[in-house]
Every structure is written in structure tokens, then in C-alpha cells.
């Protein structure tokens, strides 16, 4: 910091205003200074100060030039040595489903939870039910989120019998961390109308035991038919609770733009209503399911926000979860854990005809489409569909997006580049499931190339790094760490050639996903004229050791020059994914709304 900046800060603190702006300079509402500012602008990567007026950046640069914009009414925001960056832009997540993560029993494994085996999973459910016994008694339902069979000591999914030991009378539904599978106890299966005579739906599996009875595990569309309608059945209060909790959790990790990556008309309308009331602190881009809501998408898609909400396009899902062995591969899984045939390669959740029809609709109507494709087989389907659509409709500037792409071949990266597909990748997989992929899904050789950010950069391709919350917490620093280090839970470095430097990893969380959303002129870097969205970190990611990146904390999040999250004043539990509810009565009402919605859903089946 220059002497002038120190002097002006001191004068401001004393209530003296001897450093007023020149009459020819616009007066700033706020000047940010006192710590390193990483702009993500290659022309001036690090600056000393930033001036903001009317929610947009007025000036960026050295302290002397920026302080020329200070007037009597200007507030100087002292970074106190902390590091400021652009607000993070969510390359892919599910902001409303994040509310489910915040309002249910935490079944995550360390470091995000305490579940390590079936016994501790049951204990977590029982403890949550006891703590919320009045809600459970009132609505007769228990939901848990985030178990991962790959992290359980038994290395298997819980069964309905396991959950029956928690309660045989109260319906229980637990959601796998991937969001693509779940387990129901006997009471919940009965409410859902699933029994020995039930057949697996297309694109899904109802697992059964040796006696032909459902064992409680539901995969893909067998699971979605129970859970996806849940959000639409919650009613206004339940959906609003989810949306508030999710958006506030995103803000606590430095996100100023979030995504609802498999939305519905009802969810978008709820977001719009809350946005109009000023209850969603960040911008949200929604992508309703293209197989369910085409008319709604076409009528509502827009490049412009209304009260911080807009429909950005459509979402398509081709396959499932790689760690859950439901992603569609182009070869058999390496060593899948479970009862699988020798040549098992996963399966598609939809047909090639459905895929082609959805992509054709997107290109014909010039509407952006983001597509979940995890396995090589799913990418083959997507590439073929886009090639066919481009031959028929040309190449409108819709910026199609691949979501996840955990298992890809190099030739597929080449195809995506040729077709103009933006890669929204999931490098946190190297941390959470890297060991599992190495040992079970693709094997030690191919596991080196999951989430192939290095291949993308070799081809000079932009990419986005996402969290897919509620699959994982929307932990921006965990994303940064995983993209740079590719360390697994056990400390292995998975694919050192796929690592990228810190600045590249930061671009994949800011300016590149801003481009993905057609917002690069307004967001993603700290430049004059752009929106004043900032994240303030505890330390400088450019100077700390790579192994320390995951330990950095978001201290403050600023949206359009207004503080929307401050770690020093946030309600207790906010950073742990809990809802921002301090009134026990209000929290009780939110949980009642949630579980009454579940009960209505299951009663309707």
C-alpha cells in the first residue's frame, strides 16, 4: 500500500476528508483497498485498489489513481491484508437441491461429515430424528443426504433392512452423495408403491435381493420418480425454504452467481418470487429439464435477469454417476463393487432418440443446452447428436456445455473443441472419489485422466470447474485445491499431468464460467464497467503453498457492492451447509414444510 493510501485511510478513520476527488473525477460509493486484489484480467493481474459506483466498477489500478475518486461520501473498505477476487461464478450446481442438503440429516463422510460405516450412518439418522422428534412425529418421515458407499467401511449401499433398524414404522429415504441413487426403508417403499412385482423403469434400476424383493436401493430414474417430484410437491413454503438455504450457502463460499442445473417450472417461479422480494442474495441462472419443460423454457429463456433470476437454457441428462457405476462407459468397469456381470459398462438414462431430439430442439430454437454426460459412452452419444444437429441447423452461437465428463478419451476432447462445446468439469472428483476411481471404476491407468483439465489446456480450451452441490458442498476453495493439486483423500496425486496452475484454476471459477453463461462482459473479472461482485479470502491463493489452498476461507462475499456474507457475523452453522435460520420456531416450520411435501408425494403414489 502506498503512503498516500495509508494516509487517506487514516484520515477517513478520523472523520477527515482531505483527500477528496478532483472535480473532474466521478466520486465512488466505495473504494476497496488494503490487500492484494487479483483481477483475473491479464492486462493488470494484481492491483492495489478498486473504486465502485452504483454497483459497478468505476476504476481499477494503483492506489493513487483510484483514490482520486474518493469524495466525502465514499466508504473505504479496508481489506486488512486479505485477498479480493471477482465473485465466483457457478459452472454447475443445483442451488435449490442444496436446500435439501441443508435441511436433512447429514450423512456425508469426513471431512464434511462423520459417517464412516453403516453403524455411524444409522446413528446419524437416529440422532437427527431424536433432535427433530417433534417434526418427525408430526409428518412421519426421515430424510438423510450424502451417504457414499465408496466411503463406508462395508463398501456397500445400505439396504432397507439397515434403515428398518432405525425405524420400521417411519418412512426413511436417504440420498446418495451423487444424487443419482438412494435407499428407502420398508415403510417408504410401501408408500412409494414399490414391491416384488415392480419392474425397473427405463433408465433406472430397482435393486432386488435373492428372494426377488426390493432391497431398498433405487438407481437413476427408479430413484428420480420418487425424489424429483418432491420439490414440485413441497408447496410454496417448502420450496422457498430450499431456495433460501441454498442461495445463502452458495454466498457463504464466495459465489455471486449460482446455477440451478436441473430445474423445473415450479422451482423457477419460486426463485422469481423470492427474487422479487429480495430474498435471494445472488444471481441464479436456471436450466429446466429439456425432457419435461420445453414450452416453459422457450417462453422464459432470457439473457437478462429479473430480480436476479433468469432461465439460461435447458438441461439434458444422458447417464448417471461414475462412482455409483451408473455412468455409461465405452468399456466394462474396472472392478465394480456389487453384483454386476463381467462386461458391465453402466447404462444410459435416456435413449439415443431422446438425446438427438433434445439437441435438435436446442439448435433449432437457438437455446443453450447443458448436458450431463459422465462416461465415455454418454459422450459418444452427445457428440453424435451435436454433429447431426450442426449438419442440419448450422452452428448458432448457443455455447453448448458438457457437464462433468469424468471419463473421456482424448479424441472426445478433440471433438468437443471442434464442435464448440464448453467443458464444465468436476475436478473435486479427484479428491472425493479419486481413490475409488483408481481402484474400482476405471483402474489405475485411466484414473489419471478423470476430469481432464490438462488436456483442455493443451488444446487452449476454456473450462469451468464446478462442485455439483449438493453432491459436495459448494466449497470454492476445495474446488481450487483439487484443480491445482489433484490430491485424493488418501494423499495420492491423481494425474499430475492434468494439474493446472492457480491462475488457470481461478479463471475456471470466474471469467470462463462467466463466458459459459454469456456474462463475460459483466462478470468474472475485476475491470472497469463490470458488476462489483467480489469474494474476499483469508489469504492469497497465489502465494500460499498448494497444499494449503483447501484451508483458505471465504471471509466476505459482496454482490453489487453490498455485503451478502460476512464470516464474522454469519449465523452459526452457515459455513457447514446449515440454513441461515436463528429462530427455532422458524426452523421448525421449514422442516415441517419439507417433510409434509415428502409425505404428500408418497401418499400420491
Residue that is written with C-alpha cell 483469508 in the block: 538
Can you tell me the mean pLDDT for 191-201? 87
Instruction: Check whether 116 has a pLDDT greater than 80.
Output: yes
Top pLDDT among 534 and 589 is at: 534
How confident is the model at residue 589, as a pLDDT?
54
How confident is the model at residue 240, as a pLDDT?
83
Burial of 277 (C-beta count, 10 Å sphere; 0-12/13-18/19+) = exposed
- Return mean pLDDT, the chain: 88
Rounded Cα gap, residues 280 and 276, in angstroms: 9
Bridge partners, residue 30, by sequence: 52, 75
How confident is the model at residue 95, as a pLDDT?
93
Can you tell me the mean pLDDT for 109-123? 91
Q: What is the DSSP letter of 306?
A: B
pLDDT, tens digit, for every residue of 521-533? Answer: 999 999 999 999 9
How confident is the model at residue 9, as a pLDDT?
42
pLDDT, tens digit, for every residue of 224-275? Answer: 776 554 444 455 676 787 788 889 999 999 999 999 999 999 899 999 999 9
Sign of the torsion angle spanned by Cα atoms 310, 313, 319, 321: negative
How confident is the model at residue 241, as a pLDDT?
79
Phi-psi region of 61 (alpha: psi -120 to 50; beta: other; left: phi over 0): left
What is the share, in percent, of the chain residues with pLDDT greater than 70?
Answer: 87
13 confidence band (pLDDT: 50, 70, 90)? very low
Instruction: Check whether 142 has a pLDDT greater than 70.
Output: yes
Sign of the torsion angle spanned by Cα atoms 425, 431, 437, 443: positive
Can you tell me the mean pLDDT for 148-164? 92
Rounded Cα gap, residues 177 and 472, in angstroms: 7
How confident is the model at residue 136, as a pLDDT?
74
User: What backbone torsions phi and psi does residue 247 show, to the nearest 5 degrees?
Assistant: -65, -35
Rounded Cα gap, residues 341 and 367, in angstroms: 40
User: What backbone torsions phi and psi does residue 256 show, to the nearest 5 degrees?
Assistant: -110, -10
User: What backbone torsions phi and psi does residue 380 show, to the nearest 5 degrees?
Assistant: -60, -40
Element (H, E) at 207: strand 204-208
Which of 65-79, 184-198, 331-345 is predicted with the least confidence, judged by mean pLDDT? 184-198
Terminal-to-terminal C-alpha distance of the chain: 65
How confident is the model at residue 591, as a pLDDT?
53
581 confidence band (pLDDT: 50, 70, 90)? very low
User: What backbone torsions phi and psi does residue 77 show, to the nearest 5 degrees?
Assistant: -90, 110
- Cβ neighbours of 153 (radius 10 Å): 10
Torsion of CA 353, 92, 529, 367, to 10 degrees: 10
How confident is the model at residue 595, as a pLDDT?
52
DSSP-derived secondary structure for 113-152: ----SHHHHHHHHHHHHHHTHHHHHHH--EEEEEE-GGGS
- Per residue, the 3-state secondary structure of 449-495, as one string, reads HCCCHHHHHHCCCCEEECCCCCCCCCCHHHHHHHHHHCECCCCCECC
Cβ contacts of residue 476 below 8 Å, gap of 6+?
Answer: 88, 253, 254, 255, 467, 509, 535, 554
Nearest C-alpha neighbor of 164 from the set 172, 175, 176, 156: 172
How confident is the model at residue 574, as a pLDDT?
47
How confident is the model at residue 242, as a pLDDT?
79
Cell, residue 140:
412421519
Instruction: Check whether 583 has a pLDDT greater than 60.
Output: no
How confident is the model at residue 233, as a pLDDT?
47
Residue that is written with C-alpha cell 448417471 in the block: 320
Nearest C-alpha neighbor of 596 from the set 175, 168, 140: 140
Instruction: Check whether 333 has a pLDDT greater than 60.
Output: yes
Bridge partners, residue 84, by sequence: 37, 536
Top pLDDT among 579 and 418 is at: 418
Instruction: Check whether 577 has a pLDDT greater than 60.
Output: no
Rounded Cα gap, residues 521 and 518, in angstroms: 8
Rounded Cα gap, residues 428 and 404, in angstroms: 11
Instruction: Check whether 147 has a pLDDT greater than 50.
Output: yes
Whether residue 470 has a cis bond before it, omega within 30° of 0: yes
Ordered domains of the chain (ranges, CATH): 1-81+523-570 (2.30.40.10), 97-232+578-603 (3.10.310.70), 313-500 (3.20.20.140)
Q: What is the DSSP letter of 21?
A: P
Nearest C-alpha neighbor of 565 from the set 535, 595, 590, 605: 535
109 confidence band (pLDDT: 50, 70, 90)? confident
How confident is the model at residue 146, as a pLDDT?
84
Can you tell me the mean pLDDT for 324-345? 94
How confident is the model at residue 231, as a pLDDT?
44
Phi-psi region of 308 (alpha: psi -120 to 50; beta: other; left: phi over 0): left
Can you tell me the mean pLDDT for 422-440? 95
- Strand ordering across the sheet containing 422-425: 314-317, 369-373, 401-404, 422-425, 463-465
Top pLDDT among 16 and 443 is at: 443
Rounded Cα gap, residues 1 and 34, in angstroms: 6
Nearest C-alpha neighbor of 507 from the set 570, 456, 462: 462
Top pLDDT among 109 and 79 is at: 79
Q: What's the pTM value of the predicted model, to 2 decimals?
A: 0.84
Q: What is the DSSP letter of 438?
A: I
Rounded Cα gap, residues 59 and 528, in angstroms: 5
Nearest C-alpha neighbor of 163 from the set 205, 202, 125, 214: 125
Cell, residue 190:
410401501
Nearest C-alpha neighbor of 529 from the set 55, 11, 2: 55
Rounded Cα gap, residues 290 and 328, in angstroms: 20
453 confidence band (pLDDT: 50, 70, 90)? very high
- Alpha carbon 338 to its chain centroid, in Å, reads 28
Q: Which residues of 185-217 are buried (b: 16+ CB within 10 A; e: fewer)?
A: bbbbbebbebeeeeeeeebbbbbeeeeeebbbb
What is the share, in percent, of the chain residues with pLDDT greater than 90?
Answer: 69
Can you tell me the mean pLDDT for 493-498? 96
Q: Is 448 helix (H, G, I), strand (E, B) or coil?
A: helix
Rounded Cα gap, residues 380 and 210, in angstroms: 35
Amino acid at each position: 500500500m502506498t503512503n498516500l493510501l495509508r494516509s487517506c485511510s487514516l484520515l477517513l478513520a478520523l472523520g477527515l476528508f482531505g483527500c477528496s476527488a478532483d472535480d473532474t473525477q466521478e466520486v465512488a460509493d466505495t473504494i476497496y483497498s488494503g490487500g492484494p486484489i487479483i483481477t483475473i484480467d491479464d492486462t493488470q493481474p494484481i492491483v492495489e485498489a478498486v473504486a465502485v459506483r452504483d454497483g459497478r466498477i468505476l476504476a481499477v489500478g494503483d492506489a493513487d489513481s483510484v483514490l482520486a475518486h474518493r469524495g466525502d461520501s465514499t466508504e473505504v473498505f479496508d481489506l486488512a491484508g486479505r485477498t479480493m477476487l471477482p465473485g465466483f461464478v457457478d459452472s454447475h450446481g443445483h442451488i435449490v437441491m442444496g436446500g435439501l442438503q441443508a435441511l436433512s440429516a447429514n450423512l456425508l463422510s469426513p471431512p464434511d461429515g462423520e459417517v464412516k460405516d453403516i453403524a455411524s450412518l444409522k446413528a446419524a439418522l437416529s440422532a437427527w430424528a431424536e433432535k427433530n422428534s417433534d417434526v418427525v412425529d408430526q409428518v412421519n418421515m426421515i430424510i438423510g443426504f450424502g451417504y457414499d458407499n465408496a466411503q463406508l467401511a462395508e463398501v456397500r449401499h445400505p439396504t432397507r433392512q439397515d434403515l428398518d433398524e432405525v425405524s420400521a414404522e417411519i418412512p426413511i429415504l436417504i440420498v446418495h452423495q451423487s444424487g443419482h441413487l438412494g435407499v428407502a426403508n420398508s415403510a417408504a417403499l410401501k408408500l412409494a408403491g414399490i414391491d416384488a412385482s415392480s419392474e425397473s423403469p427405463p433408465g433406472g434400476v430397482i435393486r432386488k435381493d435373492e428372494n426377488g424383493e426390493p432391497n431398498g436401493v433405487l438407481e437413476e430414474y427408479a430413484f428420480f420418480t420418487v425424489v424429483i417430484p418432491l420439490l414440485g410437491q413441497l408447496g410454496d413454503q417448502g420450496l422457498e425454504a430450499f431456495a433460501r438455504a441454498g442461495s445463502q450457502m452458495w454466498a457463504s463460499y464466495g459465489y455471486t452467481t449460482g446455477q440451478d442445473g436441473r430445474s423445473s417450472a415450479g422451482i423457477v417461479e419460486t426463485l422469481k418470487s423470492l427474487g422479487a422480494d429480495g430474498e435471494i442474495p445472488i444471481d441464479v441462472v436456471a436450466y429446466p429439464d429439456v425432457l419435461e419443460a420445453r414450452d416453459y423454457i422457450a417462453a422464459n429463456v432470457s439473457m437478462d435477469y429479473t430480480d436476479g433470476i433468469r432461465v439460461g437454457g435447458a438441461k439434458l441428462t444422458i447417464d448417471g454417476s461414475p462412482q455409483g457405476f451408473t455412468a455409461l462407459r465405452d468399456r466394462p468397469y474396472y472392478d465394480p463393487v456389487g453384483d454386476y456381470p463381467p462386461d458391465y459398462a453402466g447404462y444410459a438414462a435416456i435413449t439415443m432418440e431422446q438425446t438427438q431430439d433434445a439437441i435438435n430442439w436446442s439448435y433449432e430454437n437457438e437455446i443453450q443446452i447443458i448436458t450431463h454426460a459422465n462416461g465415455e459412452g454418454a459422450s459418444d452419444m452427445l457428440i453424435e447428436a451435436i454433429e447431426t444437429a450442426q449438419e442440419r441447423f448450422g452452428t448458432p452461437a448457443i455455447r453448448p456445455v458438457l457437464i462433468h465428463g469424468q471419463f473421456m478419451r482424448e479424441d472426445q476432447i478433440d471433438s468437443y473443441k471442434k464442435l464448440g462445446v464448453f467443458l464444465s468439469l468436476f475436478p473435486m472428483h479427484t479428491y472425493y472419489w479419486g481413490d475409488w476411481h483408481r481402484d474400482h471404476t476405471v483402474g489405475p491407468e485411466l484414473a489419471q485422466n478423470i476430469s481432464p483439465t490438462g488436456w483442455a489446456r493443451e488444446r487452449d480450451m476454456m473450462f469451468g470447474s464446478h462442485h455439483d452441490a449438493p453432491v459436495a458442498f459448494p466449497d470454492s476453495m476445495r474446488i481450487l485445491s483439487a484443480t491445482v493439486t489433484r490430491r485424493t483423500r488418501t494423499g495420492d496425486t491423481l494425474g499430475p499431468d492434468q494439474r493446472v496452475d492457480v491462475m488457470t484454476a481461478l479463471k475456471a471459477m470466474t471469467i470462463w464460467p462467466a463466458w459459459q453463461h454469456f456474462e463475460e462482459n459483466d462478470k468474472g473479472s475485476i475491470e472497469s464497467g463490470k458488476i462489483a461482485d467480489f469474494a474476499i479470502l483469508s489469504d492469497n491463493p497465489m502465494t500460499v503453498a498448494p497444499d494449503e489452498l483447501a484451508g483458505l476461507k471465504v471471509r466476505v462475499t459482496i454482490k453489487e457492492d453490498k455485503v451478502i456474507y460476512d464470516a464474522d457475523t454469519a449465523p452459526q452453522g452457515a459455513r457447514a451447509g446449515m440454513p441461515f435460520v436463528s429462530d427455532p420456531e422458524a426452523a421448525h416450520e421449514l422442516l415441517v414444510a419439507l417433510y409434509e411435501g415428502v409425505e404428500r408425494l408418497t401418499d400420491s403414489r
